[in-house]
Amino acid sequence: MPGTVAGEVRAGLPPLSHRWVARYPDEPDATAIGVLAQELHLPAELCRLLAQRGLADPGRARQYLRPQLDSLPDPYLLADLERAVARIGRAVAQGERILVHGDYDVDGICCAALYTRVLRAIGAQVEAFVPHRLTDGYDLSQAGVHRAAEYGARLILTGDCGIVAHEAVAAAQAAGIDVVVTDHHTPGETLPAAAAVVNPNRPDCGYPEKGLAGAGVAYKLCQALAAAHGLAEADLRWHLDLVALATIADLAPLTGENRVLAHFGLRVLAQTRNLGLAALLRTAGVDPEKGIAAGQVSHVLAPRLNAVGRLGAAERGVRLLLAENVPEAEALARESEEENRARQSLDRDTLQAALADLEQWYDPERDFGLVLAREGWHPGVIGIVASRVVERVHRPVVMVALDPGAGRGRGSARSIPRFDLYAAVHSCSALLERYGGHHQAAGLDVRMERLDAFRAAFNDYARRNLTPADLQPELKVDQELSLAAATPQLFALLRHVGPFGVGNPAPVFCSRGVRVLGYPREVGDGHIKLRLHQHGAELEAIGFRLAERLRELDLARGPIDVAFQLQENHWNGRVELQARLLDLRLAQ
């Protein structure tokens, strides 16, 4: 089934069935589709997709298909941005040292690298710091304040963190160090008493784009700093590769400003001047000559950059992105590759342990929100594994790595679309030592003696806020597409609707009454390859981890319906369009 990872299936946890639903239940106006097709000279299938996504007006559709950086909102619409620019400007003018403080995930690492490069370009004395996941924890904390004091900094500039770091900001001030906070996470009831707090999600902030990643917020501040200090906008735009990497990796919605930043950032990434990113592309086997898609960032590049922070010191990731010579960049990129392999091994072991635990006590009628905990789990991988468990059971999951010596556990949580994870964790705040996050992901610390109470409270909140229908995964189909219309030309045009990701999903098509030519071949670990036929048109198809699903069907009973995405298959120098099957069923 879609989302299932090879090797996960266990006897006690049967695969979930998916319900096919229309992503856009209301069919767009046929006349509007015709007008789009006529004015934009595009096929009806693409125009239907544009209309479904709210772009039936030819002018808006044209702007969407040809995004422009100059159309983005003024950075000064962000609350406190003027104060941030002024305080940083004073530090530059007076030669004060600045500590840039990111966080240990890809977004935080990219923020630290972005700020460091831009501040150095305008003449600042700056050092980058990101906390160690295991010894420092997440967010701005005493570890960052201590590093700033050691460095002799008079200013800490945060990226992707700090919005709820009241104690650390107060400690910095007591040490004579000002703090400028830039963040995108949900603010608490009060803001930290910093020199400036830049966050589009402040209740009093009128900035129109609330979904920026941490690096997106950082880029807006960098735009203002560049303008104030004479750094050309064209030079600043070479750092959009970092913004795209962070935005996609952090699962920020690829709509509005984020989509524009990611669109141009992926172009920059394909011709990056950043030696560390270039080395990362080489070691990961990504060929920039073919262009770089958002999926390659999320599934290939981001895990490698994340790995150094998950298993050790994330500062190595910052050093990679700040590398000034090829040998250093290559050595750090190879290190990230090795750590990513080690992380994958830990993922597999942790996932199997989590699924084994579920087999012992999980009751789908009782357990709407799951809290799993074990001693020995690595805090650096439990977030990834939580996502895999969510794919397996389709309900919110918290995984807690227990540390008996400290008497507490560190948790990572992941959710399903119809469940606000931050609200759920917040409802349990009396049982937690620390927590933070957003709608789909969260982190927390919990005392071991409160774990059972937290498990019960989290499940109780989930039972009150989820229905049984919410717990059946849906396969959202954009539109029906005949195999004859699935052409390389359509695939090429669909790229202009991307980059695809959260908030702007890659289109899913379905074809009905399809026959399979010959007999499907099972390849690899549970994958299938087959050739589809419909009304004289044919299309090669591959279905990852769909062998078990195919065995449930009796192809001799008649044609099937298939749900798929279009992709290119590069093999032996040939490029062929194929369907990537997401599900299949007997024709209905």
On average, the pLDDT of the chain sits at: 93
Q: Are 482 and 459 part of one and the same domain?
A: no
Q: Is 356 part of a structural domain of the chain?
A: no
Q: Are 467 and 484 part of one and the same domain?
A: no
Q: Is 8 part of a structural domain of the chain?
A: no
| Cα 288 to Cα 269, 278, 283, 461, 569, distances in angstroms | 8, 9, 12, 46, 16
Q: Are 236 and 294 part of one and the same domain?
A: yes
Q: Is 14 part of a structural domain of the chain?
A: no
Q: Are 260 and 315 part of one and the same domain?
A: yes
Q: Are 192 and 230 part of one and the same domain?
A: yes
CA angle in degrees (0–180, nearest 5) for 291-215-272:
30
Q: Are 243 and 129 part of one and the same domain?
A: yes
Per-residue pLDDT tens over the stretch 35-70: 999 999 999 999 999 999 999 999 999 999 999 999
Q: How many CA atoms lie within 13 A of 474 on its CB side?
A: 12
pLDDT higher than 50, residue 10: no
Q: Is 50 part of a structural domain of the chain?
A: yes
CA angle in degrees (0–180, nearest 5) for 143-147-151:
170
Specify the range with the lowest mean pLDDT, choosing from 126-135, 183-192, 217-226, 246-255: 126-135
Q: Are 215 and 315 part of one and the same domain?
A: yes
Q: Is 347 part of a structural domain of the chain?
A: no
Per-residue pLDDT tens over the stretch 335-353: 999 988 988 899 999 999 9
Q: Where a domain ends, among 408, 443, 471?
A: 471
One-character DSSP codes across 325-371: SHHHHHHHHHHHHHHHHHHHHHHHHHHHHHHHHHHHH--TTT-SSEE
Q: Are 189 and 282 part of one and the same domain?
A: yes
> In this predicted structure, what is the pLDDT of residue 520?
87
Q: Are 206 and 164 part of one and the same domain?
A: yes
> In this predicted structure, what is the pLDDT of residue 8?
38
Q: Residue 405: give its domain's CATH number.
A: 3.10.310.30
Q: Is 144 part of a structural domain of the chain?
A: yes
Per-residue pLDDT tens over the stretch 515-563: 999 888 888 878 999 999 999 999 999 998 888 878 778 777 779 999 9
> Ramachandran region of residue 381, left (φ > 0), alpha (ψ -120 to 50) or beta?
alpha
Q: Are 62 and 85 part of one and the same domain?
A: no
> How confident is the model over 138-166, as a mean pLDDT?
96
Backbone angles phi, psi at 213, to 5 degrees: -75, 170
Per-residue pLDDT tens over the stretch 86-96: 999 999 999 99
Q: Is 11 part of a structural domain of the chain?
A: no
Q: Residue 560: give its domain's CATH number.
A: 2.40.50.460
Assess whether the previous peptide bond of 303 is cis (omega < 30° from 0). Answer: no
Per-residue pLDDT tens over the stretch 170-185: 999 999 999 999 999 9
Per-residue pLDDT tens over the stretch 445-503: 999 999 999 999 999 999 999 999 999 899 999 999 999 999 999 999 999 999 999 99
Q: Are 489 and 572 part of one and the same domain?
A: yes
> In this predicted structure, what is the pLDDT of residue 15?
57
Rg for the chain, CA atoms, rounded: 25
Q: State how many domains the chain has.
A: 3
Q: Where a domain ends, among 317, 335, 353?
A: 335
Q: Is 350 part of a structural domain of the chain?
A: no
pLDDT higher than 80, residue 113: yes
> In this predicted structure, what is the pLDDT of residue 14?
58
> How confident is the model over 13-41, as a mean pLDDT?
88
Q: Are 33 and 165 part of one and the same domain?
A: no
Q: Which structural domain range is residue 454 located in?
A: 362-471
The residue ranking higher by pLDDT, 225 or 519, is: 225
Q: Where a domain ends, among 266, 300, 335?
A: 335
Q: Residue 119: give its domain's CATH number.
A: 3.90.1640.30
The whole-model pTM stands at 0.87
pLDDT higher than 60, residue 2: no
Percent of the chain with pLDDT over 90: 82
